[in-house]
Each structure stands twice: as structure tokens, then as C-alpha cells.
Amino acid sequence: MSGHESAVSRLRAQGYRMTPQRLSVLDIVARRTGHVGADEVWNLAREEHPYVDLATIYRTLQWLKGLGVVTEVIIGNKLHFEMADHHNPHNHMVCSVCDGVQTLTPDYLAEFSQRLEQEFGFSPNLDNITIGGMCNQCRAVT
């Protein structure tokens, strides 16, 4: 498989029921290098389990996101996902013109995060943040 067996057994150990639908979603996201749209996950999942519902896909993806197993990226008003890599975590910058995605180590956000915590007692969750803006190439065109 694609190296997500550890996630599966960890989830099962936590008492979650590992249904074929969940395994399929996990498989699809793990197999993919890069970001998958929710609808894309659905279409791929249906190849294996023709009856799976889109609501299940969304619920599963949100569930995995909450557990830190997958990461969410907003690309062009649509939710995308990818496997969270805890050995090599990263955040995303998405260009609103070309929908291009650049990555960022969380170091860039560390100081900001700490200040929110210290000065406001607010615990930000920046794992799934998407930074919008304009990329180098698109700006050059203007």
C-alpha cells in the first residue's frame, strides 16, 4: 500500500471503526502525490465501492482532518486534501489567479502562532490554513 497502514491501525486502536469507505478514502489520498479534490476522491472511491455517498466522503475527510491524518487546502473555492506528513509538515500559499500552490514550512508561522497564544490565550490551528494571494508569475503578467 501507500504507507498509511500505521494511520489505519492507530485509528482502529483509538476505537474508530475502519469501514471499507474509510479505508478507500485513506487509500486514495495516500496514493496520490499532491492535492485531491473532494469530488475526485468520490469518483475514485466509487470505482471500488459504487454505492458510496458523497456525504460519507465529506464526513470522512473532515474526520481525518480533525485527527491530523489529512490536511485541507482551499484551491479555487473547492476543498482539497492530502496526507499530512508529520515528518515534513507544510502550509500552502495559493494564487488566486492561476490556482497554483506553493508550500511553506510551518516555521514561517511559528512566531505568529506563539504570539497569539501568549498575548491572547488563543490557540490557533494553522495546520489547515491556506494563504491566498498572487504568485510571482501572475504578478509579472500584470
One-letter identity of residue 3: G
One-letter identity of residue 7: A
The stretch among 4-12, 14-22, 45-53, 78-86 that binds Mn ion (CB under 5 A) is 78-86
Does 54 sit near Zn ion (CB under 5 A)?
Answer: no
Closer CB to its own copies, residue 24 or residue 128? Answer: 128
Task: Using the structure block, give the residue that is written with the C-alpha cell 490557540.
Answer: 123
The answer to whether 14 and 53 have CB atoms below 8 angstroms apart is no
For residue 13, the minimal CB distance to Mn ion (Å) is 27
Closer CB to DNA, residue 29 or residue 79? Answer: 79
When CB distances are held under 5 to 8 angstroms depending on the partner's kind, the choice from its own copies, DNA, Mn ion, none that residue 50 binds is none
Specify the 3-state DSSP secondary structure of 18.
Answer: coil
Residues 6+ apart with CB under 8 A from 123: 116, 117
For residue 122, the minimal CB distance to its own copies (Å) is 5
Dmax (CA) of the chain: 53
Binding mask 90-129 for its own copies (x = CB under 8 A): ---x-xx-----x-x---xx-xx--xx---xxxxxxx-xx
Q: φ, ψ for residue 14 (rounded to 5)?
A: -80, 0
The answer to whether 64 and 16 have CB atoms below 8 angstroms apart is no
Name the site residues for its own copies (rule: CB under 8 A). 93, 95-96, 102, 104, 108-109, 111-112, 115-116, 120-126, 128-129, 131-136, 139
Residues near Zn ion (CB under 5 A) are: 95, 97-98, 100, 135, 138
